[in-house]
Amino acid sequence: GAGVSQSPRYKVAKRGQDVALRCDPISGHVSLFWYQQALGQGPEFLTYFQNEAQLDKSGLPSDRFFAERPEGSVSTLKIQRTQQEDSAVYLCASSSAGGRRDTQYFGPGTRLTVL
């Protein structure tokens, strides 16, 4: 079946603009994660959803970052008033149940460049 998809694949924003990144998880997957990957680094956790509930947002770097998953399926990560330090690849992952042994399936990522 189809894997995790993300759109857009590339986004260029001027500093101060708002952006919205979309994630379509694997159908039926309960858990959804967002990660941020800076150049030359491994992915870093941003936030976690179980169905529509955002159970952990401890990794969001500032209150300019906001994520939602209103119907427990598609998720959107929004960044307000983008800054240059927001430039990174944003990865979405989903898993069937969210247990710590569950495999997380990753999307291709959205590469955000803030000028």
Partner 1 sequence: AQRVTQPEKLLSVFKGAPVELKCNYSYSGSPELFWYVQYSRQRLQLLLRHISRESIKGFTADLNKGETSFHLKKPFAQEEDSAMYYCALSGFFSGSARQLTFGSGTQLTVLP
Number of residues that bind partner 1 (CB under 8 A): 31
Is the peptide bond between 8 and the residue preceding it cis, with omega within 30 degrees of 0?
A: yes
Q: Which is nearer to partner 1, 3 or 16 (CB)?
A: 3
Q: Cα angle vertex 34, ends 28, 39, to 5°?
A: 140
- Residue 26 to residues 16, 66, 102, Cα–Cα distance (Å): 32, 22, 14
Q: Which is nearer to partner 1, 25 or 107 (CB)?
A: 107
* 25 scored as a contact of partner 1 (CB under 8 A): no
Pick one of 42, 63, 70, 84: the residue that binds partner 1 (CB under 8 A): 42
Tokens of 21: 């990144």
At residue 86, what are phi and psi to the nearest 5 degrees? -80, -10
* 8 scored as a contact of partner 1 (CB under 8 A): no
* 50 scored as a contact of partner 1 (CB under 8 A): yes
User: Minimal distance in Å, beta carbon 57 to partner 1?
Assistant: 9
Do 49 and 55 contact (CB within 8 A), yes or no? Answer: yes
> Where on the chain is the footprint of partner 1 (CB under 8 A)?
3-4, 31, 33, 35, 40-45, 48, 50, 55-56, 58-59, 91, 95, 98-109
